[in-house]
A and B are shown apart, each in its own frame.
Chain A
């Protein structure tokens, strides 16, 4: 186990709703990244936070937003859910900014 936890494990939402996914990193891991993994694909980078500030973003619309807290936990918020948002969402934390530990993921299904 990596010490990175995510909640919930599974989630079912309706199109148009909003969702918040949570991640808890190891103490000292002040860098956290979020990835979206569609079925049969590799993970796609959503954004990264370093010391509670967003310092990088992938090709995702503004309805994907995040927060990082001083206690090394973080959130991914998605507004106005679309069917294509159905995926496994992974968070990854790092102490060094070089090696990343991934959490088990949250499986989001949008109907």
Chain B
């Protein structure tokens, strides 16, 4: 089955700096890669996703890049703000299934210091 590895497990940055979180996946048939943000005690919320037919996608201060050959994808947050502090999860779908099963990384705790 799919295996998703996420790094780093914790990330601490100063407000205004950039933050990068990286994930690798094992299933070459995976074609959908979402990112979720989870604040303490709350539900994970989808913040951006990318499909395998594109290499990069941007939404204001966040962007995701995908390298299908190397089987890795990354989340980039620019001009970080304290409210970006949360746990971030990457995920990859199981390309060989008929439903949207996602395998999640273990999460990255991002702390943005004012």
A and B assemble together: no
Using a CB–CB cutoff of 8 Å, the interface residues on chain B facing chain A are none
Using a CB–CB cutoff of 8 Å, the interface residues on chain A facing chain B are none
